[in-house]
A and B are shown apart, each in its own frame.
Chain A
Amino acid sequence: MAHAVIGTAPTRLGARTEFGRRTWLLGGAAAALAMRGAGTAHAQAKPPLSVAVGTDATTMDPCRIAGGNDYFFFANVFEGLYGPDEQGQPAPLLAESHTVSPDGLVWDFTLRPNARFHNGEPVTADDVRFSWQRAVAPETRNPRASVLVANIADVVVLDERRCQVRLKKRDASFLNNCGEYWYIISRKHVESAGENPFDRMPIGTGPFAFVERRIRSYIKLRGFEQHWGRVPAFGEVTLKIIPDDQSRVAQVQTGEADIVINIPPVLAAPLQRLPNVQIIRAPSFQNIYIAINALNGHPGLQRADVRRALNMAVDKQALLRATMLGFARQIEMPCQTGIFGCDATVTPYGFDPTRAREILSQAGFDFNRPLRILGQGTGRVPQARETVQGVASFLNRIGVRTEITMLDYGAWISTYGAKEKDPNVDLIFANFTDYNTDPSGRLLRQIRSGSVYSWYSNAEIDAQLDRMNDFASTEERRKFVQGIMAKLHEEAPLITLWTVDSVYGVGRGIRWTPTPNVSWPVLFNVQRA
């Protein structure tokens, strides 16, 4: 393993002297390559940007992404043919345009003429083909191949800038998922860099090029001057890993960081009063809810009317105000505004504890048997403990007894995602983050019978979910998905609660509109005020 010592940019507290540093990823070579043909001199003339984040990325390899936490890196350094625009909607990125066959199986893409990798090489149709081949190769062990790339039968190179993607079966979520599940990589780089090419030297096409990394400390990027269109206003960008919420917030108060991400509500509220900090909030796709064990938990929970009654028993607005201090938006459906098909017309459950109690009594609900609620310990999701306690309290008010168990994240996710669902759990606090506006990821992993996070089973809904992506017409599909959402609202497999806002602390010298509905910071549009 190679180590390198690379100079640090001066900070606001004065020039700093490096000593005793070991960088885990070879920064020197990466920096040299990234700088070659990347307009380094221009980038160096631009001001630096410092961003404090809570967790480190687990990988630099786009075929080994473990989850949403990794995207603060990938969303800035890599790109797909399509990806989110500034409104969070799918838009052409490396592709300039595309056409699709009437049967939805053949997609022709034309690449942008000025799309380049960070090593200065142009992006070609052969790179697109190679990116698919590597993503599905058994030796890559891409754990997320099943979502998009495994459905590609072939990628045919038509010429230098044009390629044809042939799908095995129609996939209406294809364009949407291109942004997060199929990053385009350089064949030349992978073939010349040897084993683990991205862990050593991640080269993508995004607005920022990788420079250096120290695991659990920082990742340094540099604005990519040759980007096809999203040239950043900043030169060096340091992503500082600051796990503690209060210490991370202090970074923006002291001016050590320009942007601080993931500020919990309890810290965000007082920050709003400070003169040197702006609190910016944007809708995210992180849903908070209570999954109901309709499979093998409390017998009453197998009835849809009982599950609806539980939804009616909880004053979600009051709970949202008390626990999230308003930094969230209540949701009625198992999705939120912005998700395709989530605009179905339904009658809200409403808060009606008297009616909820009546429904439970009529359904013969066993009030003597407590509902066992599994909560998630503090750390990963803001106010997780308080939310569970609040829900339990509302259920208690209609006579439902509850027993709460809090687990650390590891034990919680083992239970939540277990193949065989635990019959000793009736309700489980949960969160699910969509990666884009397409609902299929959420519904197929959270609702469909037998899927990893599903505590519910309904053959009719399963059949609909299996057809959900088999549409060529967007409007037809929208109506179909709206139908599924309406049915799910009726079935109530979850006690839906809210979508958490992404809360950022931003220095007054910065102007930035975070991309809505993307649960990680996309930094190309950050400007000096």
Chain B
Amino acid sequence: MARFILTRLWQTLITLLLLTILIFILARLTGDPTPLVMPSEATEADRNFFRQQYGLDRPVYEQYVIFLRNVLHGDFGISFRYREPAFGLVLAAIGPTLQLAGVSMLVAMLLGLPLGILAALRPGSWFAAAVRSYASLGQAMPTFWTGLMLIAAFAIMLPVLPSSGYGTPANFVLPAVTLGFYASASITMLTWANMTEALRSDFVQMERVLGIPRRLVVLKHALRNASLPIVTYLGLQFGLLLGGAVVTERVFAWPGVGQMLVDAILNRDYPVVQAAVMLTAVLFMAINLVVDLLYAVLDPRVSTP
């Protein structure tokens, strides 16, 4: 197991190094940030000073070396737009994102897992058909539309929840349901398919013949065997929510990292782009590592050389 963890950590480090190069180059491909940062009244000298101040007048490789050296010291530079340390801005945004991603995943699992299991246990029934419709709807409805419909229903027509904002438990409900509903659709289908396969397997049939209680067969043995791809998917889904909930964050004015990243890209705020991508990538990799470890626990063959 120790060797497995070390190997994964080593791979993570290499990936991060490659990522620094990639994100550094991609950020600069968006163009010179000076016209976006400096007002139209700025003189050419002011503009040149800005480029000089942030090292944008140096060769790209030199900028990269400085960037890498600073990153190793935890310094991602100062945001061009807000003139605050970029890492601090991203850290402030990652909290709301993690909170929303966590609650959304909870909603998705609470909806997706039971629906998938129950549909697998009732093949061909009206319930299975209803679950299939639910999953299709969940995947087909774009999150911005779901979000706006929920705002219309629960904030405007039936004013029981805030339409947007962050800071209170009530603020979580609509964005978490929006994201959770979307994610639950694929979790439902994946759980359904894997549970169907597990329930058809020889060992489950044998356990039924042996008279082991159905609940035990389903929840302990079949579900455990079906859970490997589901756990992997949940990890990936959680990782995607860290940086990919841009639309939902925008609709609900959620001060998360996804919306911040998009704003930073549009405003060519390189330091924030770099800090946001690096931080979400590290979190994504950490989640993958946890998933891999969980995988190894669930299936010991994975960590066996």
Contacts and interface: CB of A to CB of B under 8 A. Distances in A.
B202 interface: no
Interface stretch (A58-66, A279-287, A339-347, A509-517): A58-66
B166 A217 contact: yes
B206 to A, nearest CB: 50
Contacts of B85: 1
Interface string B263-278: 1001110000000000
Contacts of B93: 216
B297 interface: no
Contact of B35 (A1, A147, A417): A417
B147 to A, nearest CB: 8
B14 interface: no
Interface in B99-145: 99
Interface in A208-225: 214-217
B163 A24 contact: no
- Main SS of chain A's interface residues? loop
A108 B148 CA distance: 56
Interface stretch (B215-223, B230-238, B246-254, B284-292): B246-254
A458 interface: no
Contacts, number: 149
A414 interface: yes
A143 B84 contact: no
A256 B163 contact: yes
Interface string A218-261: 00000000000000000000001111101100110111100000
Question: What bracket does the count of chain B residues touching chain A fall in?
Answer: 35 or more
B43 interface: yes
B151 interface: yes
Interface string A181-219: 000000000000000100100000000000000111100
Contacts of A144: 39, 41-42
A413 B36 contact: yes
B151 A66 contact: no
Contact of A215 (B82, B170, B267): B82
A274 to B, nearest CB: 10
A475 interface: no
Interface residues of A, number: 55
A216 B151 contact: no
Interface stretch (B61-69, B154-162, B177-185): B154-162
Contacts of B4: none
A246 B253 contact: no
Contacts of B169: 17
B107 to A, nearest CB: 19
A506 to B, nearest CB: 17
A453 interface: yes
A351 interface: no
A244 B251 contact: yes
Contacts of A147: 41
A8 interface: yes
A474 interface: no
B159 A254 contact: yes
Nearest to B38: A143
Interface string A1-20: 10000001001010011111
B41 to A, nearest CB: 4
A253 B255 contact: no
Contact of B255 (A199, A214, A409, A411): A214
B266 A58 contact: no
Contact of A141 (B46, B159, B165, B255): B46
A247 B82 contact: no
Residue from A8, A64, A240, A417 with most neighbouring chain B CB atoms (10 Å): A417
Given A16-B170, A58-B81, A217 B38 contact: no
A141 B255 CA distance: 30
Contact of B259 (A16, A243, A251): A243
A143 B250 contact: no
10 contacts: A11-B162, A16-B170, A19-B167, A215-B255, A241-B253, A246-B251, A247-B253, A417-B35, A417-B40, A452-B40
Those 3 A-B pairs whose CB atoms lie nearest each other, nearest first: A16-B168, A143-B42, A250-B163
